A and B are shown apart, each in its own frame.
Chain A
Amino acid sequence: MADSQSTLNSAAETDAVIDVRGVHYAVDGRPIFAGLDVRVPRGLITAVMGPSGTGKTTLLRLVTGQIYADRGQVAVFGREVADMGRAELYATRRRMGMLFQNGALLTDLDVFENVAFPVREHTNLPEPLIRTLVLTKLEAVGLRGAAQLMPAELSGGMARRVALARAIVMDPEVLIYDEPFVGLDPISLGVILRLIKQMNDALGITSVVVSHDVHEIATIADHSYLISDGRVVASGSPAELAASDSPTVRQFMTGGAEGPVRFHYPAADYATELLGAERR
């Protein structure tokens, strides 16, 4: 275990596909990140966990170059995102796939055309080849039969699987999942979990899974980061996090309302407000 961990760490140092170092980022003066460090090693599944509102989605936007850090470095494939011109940024994005929380399928195209969309945009492949490619990816997510449906006709779980097919259709090197388990029934959840693992095992795709579903993610992640208050409060394998005695980690893993992470939004004293004369 110790050996594999040190191998992992050295791999992380030398071959990080995504390397976030000392990132500070604030929105309207409210700090989201204050010195965030996250490294995603090639070929592994890295989980980024944290309570709601800790900026997990913001991290994904930083990595894909939709926003830029106020301070610190965000490097993807060894290149600083902030230094990339538009052409290089777009070329980098083509090597990445991203699965959005709600699927983000294009509502005016059917399932087949949604999956074919990146292929048509970026290549001049002949139609029969596009058809084969799209059907292969749809088969991988079990939705070949739904090719002619419109996004409005899909359930949430199906939409996410179509989005996954679209994310892998260009054979990306990195797949980023934004809250892939939210609102899924147990069957869809199990299927998505297995798909993430399969993509990683079979295709060697580096995966970043942003989630707060601790138990689901623990079954597939190689390495996890726990983010709270704008920085990484713990990192390690799921087993290490589970065994941690840090109060923050314990609170997050067991789902306690009391602990270092505040469940209650700051407010006046409860009794005073209940008994108080008027509402402000």
Chain B
Amino acid sequence: MSDGSREGVLEGLRKTGVTALFFGRLLGACVPALGRPRLIIAQIYNAGARSLIIIMLSGLFTGMVLGLQGYDLLHRFGATSALGTAAALSLLKELGPVLTALLFAGRAGTALTSEIGLMRATDQLTAMEVMAVDPLRHVAAPRFLGGLIALPLLTAIFIVVGLFGAQLVGVQMMGVDRGIFWSQMQSAIALKDVTEGVVKSVAFGAVLSLIAVNEGYHADPTAEGVGRATTRTVVASSVMTLLLDYVLTAAFL
């Protein structure tokens, strides 16, 4: 192994270690942070409610495309009655959790990282420490918990709106029977399918919030440093979402 690649591996390991340690401290800070629900609710609003429009719009169009593509595919086999099941399965198990996570990384993750990074750059975190207030408990933990709670909720909304979009195209435009669309879906979807979506969205919520908070907390306290940290949040979140999605899908099969 060349010196360069060995250093790269060591640096990667070091960063993983730092993140793991930070995660441990963050979890420790979450317990006292639960005693301040007002801070957490504010962050659920920031990460969740403020992402609603982009999530609902994306969900609607994703569902509509599913309706079109699904109808086109199933029509070739004369199986358009399975459109509801196909749309629901893809939304519940894959598209809902994954697309919501990717949108969350771009909308809420970047906002979290740059906000915490700028707090670091303007000495706000240091000021808290000097005032004997733990910034991990007051700033990082509520944002982590807010993201962790908001992402599964956003995923559920994405799926519901997506199903509405698929129905809009499949039933209203393409003429699939409304009763068959919903009843096939109802009978074919098992609890396990819903569980898979829930587990994925909770896992994405934890990992993406951790990445965003960690990058912001450890950003270089300069304009350039905060910019770089924000970019790293998007890149790491996207890659981790897709990687974790594969692992979890394999685990559920």
Contacts and interface: CB of A to CB of B under 8 A. Distances in A.
B130 A96 contact: yes
A165 interface: no
Contacts of B18: none
B129 A117 contact: no
B123 A102 contact: yes
Contact of A98 (B124, B130, B133): B130
B123 A121 contact: no
Nearest to A95: B132
A105 B133 CA distance: 14
Contact of B133 (A96, A102, A107, A121): A121
Interface residues of B, number: 15
A121 B138 CA distance: 10
A104 to B, nearest CB: 4
Contact of A107 (B119, B128, B129, B130): B119
B124 A107 contact: yes
Contacts of A90: 132, 134
A11 to B, nearest CB: 26
B132 A104 contact: no
B132 to A, nearest CB: 4
Nearest to A92: B132
A182 interface: no
Contacts of A239: none
B124 A104 contact: yes
A79 B12 CA distance: 39
A64 B122 contact: no
B131 interface: yes
Interface in B6-61: none
B22 to A, nearest CB: 17
B126 A94 contact: no
B127 interface: yes
A26 interface: no
A51 interface: no
A106 interface: yes
Interface size class of A (residues with CB under 8 A): 20 to 34
Contact of B127 (A91, A96, A98, A122): A98
A122 B122 CA distance: 23
| Chain B binding surface SS class | helix
B221 to A, nearest CB: 12
A155 interface: no
A250 interface: no
Contacts of B129: 64, 66, 93
A100 B132 contact: no
Contacts of B124: 104-107
A166 B123 CA distance: 15
Nearest to A118: B131
Interface string B130-142: 1111100010000
Nearest to A89: B132
A98 B123 CA distance: 12
Interface string A107-122: 1000000000110011
A88 B130 CA distance: 13
B6 to A, nearest CB: 22
Contacts of A98: 127, 130
Contacts of A96: 130
A104 B124 CA distance: 5
With most chain B CB atoms within 10 A of its CB, the pick from A94, A101, A102, A121 is: A121
Contacts of B127: 98, 100, 104-106
A94 B124 CA distance: 17
Nearest to B128: A106
Contacts of A91: 132
B131 A100 contact: no
Contacts of A105: 124, 127
A118 B123 contact: no
A77 to B, nearest CB: 14
Contacts of A101: 123
Q: Closest 8 CB pairs between A and B? A: A104-B127, A104-B123, A93-B132, A90-B132, A98-B130, A94-B132, A118-B131, A121-B133
19 contacts: A66-B129, A93-B130, A94-B131, A96-B130, A98-B127, A100-B123, A102-B122, A104-B123, A104-B126, A106-B119, A106-B127, A107-B118, A107-B119, A107-B124, A117-B131, A117-B133, A118-B131, A121-B132, A121-B133
